[in-house]
Amino acid sequence: MTKSALTKPLFWLIFILGVFLDQVTKLWAIRSLSKGQTIHLIGDFLALRLIRNPGAAFSLGEETTWIFTVISVVVIIALVTAVRSMQHRIWWISISVLLAGAVGNLIDRLFQSPGFGRGHVIDMISYNGWFIGNIADIYIVLAVAAIALLLIRGIPSGNPAISAVTGSPSETTTETDTRD
CA–CA distance, 103 with 108 (Å, rounded to integer)? 9
Task: Write down the pLDDT at residue 64.
Answer: 67
> Looking at 22, 44, 108, 123, which residue is catalytic?
123
Position with higher pLDDT, 13 vs 119: 13
pTM: 0.82
Which long-range CB contacts under 8 A does 57-60 form with residues at least 24 apart? 57/131, 57/137, 58/131
State whether residue 142 is helix, strand or coil: helix
> Looking at 44, 137, 177, 180, which residue is catalytic?
137
Q: What is the mean pLDDT of the chain?
A: 83
CA–CA distance, 96 with 155 (Å, rounded to integer)? 17
Position with higher pLDDT, 46 vs 159: 46
pLDDT at 47 exceeding the cut of 60: yes
Highest mean pLDDT among 4-8, 40-44, 80-84, 102-106: 102-106
177 in catalytic set: no
CA–CA distance, 29 with 80 (Å, rounded to integer)? 29
pLDDT tens string 67-80: 878 888 999 998 88
Position with higher pLDDT, 57 vs 52: 52
Q: What angle do CA 149, 74, 103 make, to 5 degrees?
A: 70
pLDDT at 169 exceeding the cut of 90: no
137 in catalytic set: yes
The whole-number average pLDDT for the span 45-55 is 88
pLDDT at 20 exceeding the cut of 80: yes
30-43 residues labelled b (16+ CB within 10 A) or e (exposed): eeebeeeeeeeeee
The whole-number average pLDDT for the span 158-167 is 60
Torsion, CA 141, CA 146, CA 151, CA 152, rounded to 10: 100
